[in-house]
Amino acid sequence: MIAKKKKQILVYVYVCGDILHEGHLLQMENGKALGDKLIVGVLTDKAVMEKKEKPVMEFRERLRLVQSLKCVDCVVPQDEYSPLSNLKSMQPDILMESASHIGDFYLEELKREFQGRIIMTPYFPEQSSTAIKNKIKGQKNNEV
């Protein structure tokens, strides 16, 4: 009897990746644990600036850092803040979506259009790149 090959479960996560932190890592590791392959979309500068300030790190650097993580199987550029375009072309089974995006302009469309499962992950503001940047700025201001 020939065993039928099981379909691999693809999981999609997306990050800016500017100042990688434990929150990023946990989301990616949890995504990997839910499937066979983890695809990570790294937001281009243009995509990030749809919602936030220009990243400190160059896109190429952010892409390489994410690529180097052992839980990551594939890294792709994400040209819009919404992952919908990448989801349509890659058709993953699961999207890991941060609770920090609740209320974002694209989330309702995403829920309507994406055929897979959306898993909302907790957001810890103290683990955000913005919080880390603000902490660094605060320390510099006190150093004189």
Sheet bearing 37-43, strands edge to edge: 74-78, 37-43, 10-15, 94-98, 117-121
Class of the domain covering 10-142: alpha beta
Cα distances from 131 to residues 38, 52, 81, in angstroms, run 26, 13, 20
pLDDT tens for each residue of 76-133? 999 999 999 999 999 999 999 887 766 766 778 888 999 999 998 877 666 666 666 6
pLDDT tens for each residue of 15-55? 999 888 888 899 999 999 999 999 999 999 999 999 888 99
